[in-house]
Amino acid sequence: EDQVTQSPEALRLQEGESSSLNCSYTVSGLRGLFWYRQDPGKGPEFLFTLYSAGEEKEKERLKATLTKKESFLHITAPKPEDSATYLCAVQAPGGFKTIFGAGTRLFVKA
Amino acid sequence: DTAVSQTPKYLVTQMGNDKSIKCEQNLGHDTMYWYKQDSKKFLKIMFSYNNKELIINETVPNRFSPKSPDKAHLNLHINSLELGDSAVYFCASSQGRTAYEQYFGPGTRLTVT
């Protein structure tokens, strides 16, 4: 069964303390892996799409990487405004359905 | 300019009632989705329409009926509401059938009492 597992469930960092979020997936024939950010009371906001192992994408303090079984979202020198839930998702074979993980809640303290 | 909008934002109703949630996107996308986010924050696809054609219909009770009058609108009607239907419902849109970069609405928090 296609599945996405994110860890940790919650992560508390001090401002400036870099860390990584993990997303492991089991899907036959990955067509794309996505990262979204969700703020409380709002809809998810698209961050990145990764298509193949070895690919990396960056946006401000965030860098997403992809291997054959997992993806990492690296956060460098985070700021309090980076506090949010980060969702990982994969596109299932057939291409129409996106499967989301439960997310990692990130708290960054000033 | 709001890209994907949903109404209402909050919906409180009693068991057994029928309610509708409306969604509109002004991005010119041809594919729209309904997702349900439960209390554990899992986001699960319910339905997807491409150019008004239903392309995803997950295992959802038939009390839920989507309708897409045109490419820019996707509504969700729910009959005989149950306590377990309480959740946040998100509408989303993308360009193309292959569900790449999706744009989400602000969500509708449905509470069934």
> What value does the mean pLDDT of chain A take?
94
**Mean pLDDT computed over A43-50:** 96
Residue matched to tokens 């469930």: A9
Structural domain containing residue A45: 3-109
Domain boundaries, chain B: 4-112
What's the rounded Cα separation, in Å, for the pair B43 and B35? 6
Both structure tokens of B44? 């699960």
Residues of B in contact with A37 (CB under 8 A): none
Residues of B in contact with A100 (CB under 8 A): 42-44
The sign one gets for the Cα dihedral A14, A19, A21, A22 is negative
CB contact under 8 A, A102 and B4: no
Q: What is the model's pLDDT at position A36? A: 97
User: In this structure, what are the phi and psi dihedrals at residue B62, rounded to the nearest 5 degrees?
Assistant: -75, 5
Residue-wise pLDDT tens digits, B80-103: 999 999 999 999 999 987 767 899
> What value does the mean pLDDT of chain B take?
93
CB contact under 8 A, B48 and A103: no
CA atoms within a 13 Å half-sphere pointing along the CA-CB vector of B92: 32
Both structure tokens of A13? 């960092």
CATH number at residue A78: 2.60.40.10
Spatial CA neighbour of A67 closest among A95, A31, A25? A25
> Angle A92-A93-A98 (CA atoms, 0-180°, nearest 5)?
20
Residues of B in contact with A41 (CB under 8 A): 106-107
Residue-wise pLDDT tens digits, B28-52: 999 999 999 998 888 999 999 988 8
Q: What is the model's pLDDT at position A27? A: 85
Task: Answer whether residue B113 shows pLDDT above 80.
Answer: yes
Residue matched to tokens 């041809």: B30
CB contact under 8 A, A42 and B107: yes
Testing the interface with B: which of A31, A85, A96, A106 to mutate, by most B Cβ within 10 A? Answer: A96
Residue matched to tokens 């405004």: A81
Query: What is the total count of domains within chain A?
Result: 1
CATH class label, B4-112: mainly beta
User: Chain A within 8 Å of B60 (Cβ-Cβ)?
Assistant: no
Task: Answer whether residue A95 shows pLDDT above 70.
Answer: no
Task: Answer whether residue B3 shows pLDDT above 70.
Answer: yes
User: In this structure, what are the phi and psi dihedrals at residue B36, rounded to the nearest 5 degrees?
Assistant: -120, 130
